[in-house]
Structures are given as structure tokens and as C-alpha cells.
Amino acid sequence: MISRRNIRVKVMQTLYTVATTEPNDQELNKKTGAKLLDEKLNHSLDLFTISILYITRVAQYAELDARQRASKYLPTQEDLNVSTKIAGNEFLWQVLSNQTFIEKTKEAKITHAVDEEWIKKLYQQLTKTPEYKEYAVEQSRDAKKEKAIIQFIWQKQMLENEALQEHFSEELPHWEDDKEMTEMLMENFFKSNQKINFLNLISAEKREYAHNLMRTVIDKTDYCMEFIKPKLVNWDAERVALIDLLLLRMGVCEMLYFPTIPTKVTINEYIEIAKLYSTPQSGQFVNGVLDNILKDLEKENLINKQERTRKS
């Protein structure tokens, strides 16, 4: 479920924290970084599950709303005809029937993160939208429309809701730091929510990749800077944004020490991360420097890539 880009982001954030808080001691930095990296990965994955849980609770609130309105002393015709269609949303029920999701959402840190008042607010706001009204009146269930209304809750009712985002920032630890990664995970979720293991959202292989990348970047700091510094024409290495330097070091390490990752993939990934997490010019800067370094590495026959064996 978690992508290599998500992992690269967590490694970059870990390296940034280590670089700004820890002494210049490689062994200590690797030890601290390993613990911090696992904490960051696990916490980000929890925020992803919490985001999905919010959506499911909003959809399920339709049944509670219908019962409460129907039980009024003098219910109106509208009270007696509240649509509960969204509570049976087929896209959503693929998640709700997932045993690993059921187990994961039993954890106190997940369930306690959901604010029931916000569930009610989100549902009430949702029912006023043209998109929901159109969805609710249709008798049939179209797979695309089933997914579309769930995406609408996430993208329009949650992500674009400034008050909710402020609540998340206040109540969910590190939401601001991990929001981008949560969005990436949710994007992957809407592409394919089949066979997600919520108890193991990151495979052993990808976790190993994360730790290997983090350790390699720390171990090979001086060696990588030998390739980077000559390319910083008209740039003082001390004045280049720390995130940019970290991304350059990560990129060089991937090109040199991760033979199954194509160099083109490496460069493209770090360009995109730079655009998201650094300055407006960082994407172009990282692109230019890594591309020039790659040319030198190829001339010196230091690039040794091999085809990655896909597991069946």
C-alpha cells in the first residue's frame, strides 16, 4: 500500500530531524534514525487508517440520522424518508468487510482519534451538497459513482474543510508533517482498495529499503558530497537548503548503492519530492544537479544497475 515515494519522504524527514537535533556521530545518528524512522512510518500509517475511519463513520451516520428523525414525536414526511443509501456504499463496504481493517480499528489510538461531533458536522454538510443529493436519489448502484461519492467526502468535505484541518492539526499529533503522505496514501487507496492489509501496510521489503536508504545516506555523507559539491556552481553548499542537500545525497546513494532502482526513476522521484517539500525552485535545482552527477558517474562506470526480480 505504501509507495517508495512515501518511504523516501519519511527517510528525508528522518534525516532532516537527525541533522538538526543530533551530534555529528554516524553510529549514534543511525541508531537514533532507525528508531525515529519506524515511529514516523507507523504514525503516518495510523493517520491513513484514521482518515478512512472518518469517511466510514460519516457514511454510516446516515442510518443514525434516519433513526433519530423517524423517532421524532411528529416526524415530517422528509424525516421519514431520509436516504441511507450511502451507509451501504459498495466501495466503502469493501473496506468495512476487510478483517484487517476491523482489527486495526479496534486499537484505542485509532478509535479515540475520531471526534463524533465532527462526524455529525461532516454528515450534515455532506447532505446539503448537490453531489450527495444526486447520489442519494439514484436507485441503482454504479461502481464509479459509489467510489466518486466517497472520494468527494475525502477531498471536498475533509481536505478542503479549514475548520476540520485545524482540528486535525490540534488533535492529531504531527498531522501537519504527515498530511502530504496521508494524501499520497489516500490517492493510492482510491486507485485500488482491494486486498489492503491494514495491519501490515508496509511490507518487510519496503521497510528494509527505508532503513537501508537512511543508513546509507548517513554512512556515505562525505563520499556523496564529493560528487555534489562540484555541481553547485554559483551555489555555496552551506547555503543550499538542507532538504535539497538531503535529497541530493539520497539520490546519489540510490544511483550508486541500490542496483534495482533505475536512475531515471530515482531522479524523477526526488524532483517531485523537492517540489512538494522544499522551495519553488528546488525541483529544477535537484533535477539539474542529479542529472549532471549521473553523467559523471556513468563516465566513471560507477553505475551498476540490474533488472529487479518481481515476486509472483
Decide if 228 is inside a domain: yes
Residues 141 and 59 in one domain: yes
Q: What is the average pLDDT across 251-257?
A: 97
Q: Which region among 70-84, 237-251, 265-279, 291-305 has the lowest average model confidence (pLDDT)?
A: 237-251
Residue 304 pLDDT: 92
- Domains: count for the chain: 2
| Confidence band for 301, pLDDT divided at 50, 70 and 90 | very high
Decide if 306 is inside a domain: no
Q: What is the CATH number of the domain that holds 247?
A: 1.10.940.10
**Distance, C-alpha 127 to centroid of its chain:** 28
Nearest of 282, 284, 276, 290 to residue 240 by alpha carbon: 282
Domain span at residue 96? 41-191
Residues 57 and 138 in one domain: yes
Per the CB < 8 A criterion, the answer to whether 147 and 86 are in contact is no
Which percentage of the chain shows pLDDT scores above 90? 79
Residues 171 and 241 in one domain: no
Residue 120 burial (C-beta neighbours within 10 Å; 0-12, 13-18, 19+): middle
Residues 45 and 187 in one domain: yes
Residues 45 and 186 in one domain: yes
Beta strands in 72-154 (DSSP E): none
Residue 193 pLDDT: 66
Residue 222 pLDDT: 95
pLDDT above 60 for 293: yes
Residues 176 and 260 in one domain: no
Q: Distances in Å between the alpha carbon of 271 and those of 63, 211, 276, 297, 302?
A: 46, 21, 9, 19, 22
Q: Distances in Å between the alpha carbon of 243 and those of 187, 199, 253, 312?
A: 24, 31, 15, 36
Residues 64 and 187 in one domain: yes
Per the CB < 8 A criterion, the answer to whether 7 and 206 are in contact is yes
Q: Which region among 24-33, 150-159, 238-247 has the lowest average model confidence (pLDDT)?
A: 238-247
Q: What is the pLDDT of residues 46-84, one digit of tens each?
A: 999 999 999 999 999 999 999 999 999 999 999 999 999
Q: What is the pLDDT of residues 181-216, one digit of tens each?
A: 899 889 989 987 667 889 988 889 999 999 999 999
Residues 104 and 169 in one domain: yes
Look at residues 142, 171, 191 and tell me which one is the last residue of a structural domain: 191
| Confidence band for 98, pLDDT divided at 50, 70 and 90 | very high
Residues 73 and 176 in one domain: yes
Alpha-carbon distance 22 to 29, whole Å?
Answer: 7
Residues 182 and 250 in one domain: no
Alpha-carbon distance 277 to 216, whole Å?
Answer: 21
Decide: helix, strand or coil at residue 257: helix
Decide if 11 is inside a domain: no
Decide if 97 is inside a domain: yes
Residues 124 and 178 in one domain: yes
Q: What is the pLDDT of residues 140-167, one digit of tens each?
A: 999 999 999 999 999 999 999 999 999 9
Look at residues 171, 191, 211 and tell me which one is the last residue of a structural domain: 191
Residue 244 pLDDT: 95
Please give the residue that has the higher pLDDT: either 6 or 171.
171
Decide if 6 is inside a domain: no
Q: 106: Cβ–Cβ under 8 A, 6 or more apart, which residues?
A: none
Residue 156 pLDDT: 96
Residues 182 and 233 in one domain: no
Alpha-carbon distance 266 to 13, whole Å?
Answer: 17
pLDDT above 90 for 169: yes
Neighbours of 266 (CB within 10 A): 21
Decide if 3 is inside a domain: no
Decide if 32 is inside a domain: no
Decide if 93 is inside a domain: yes
pLDDT above 80 for 101: yes
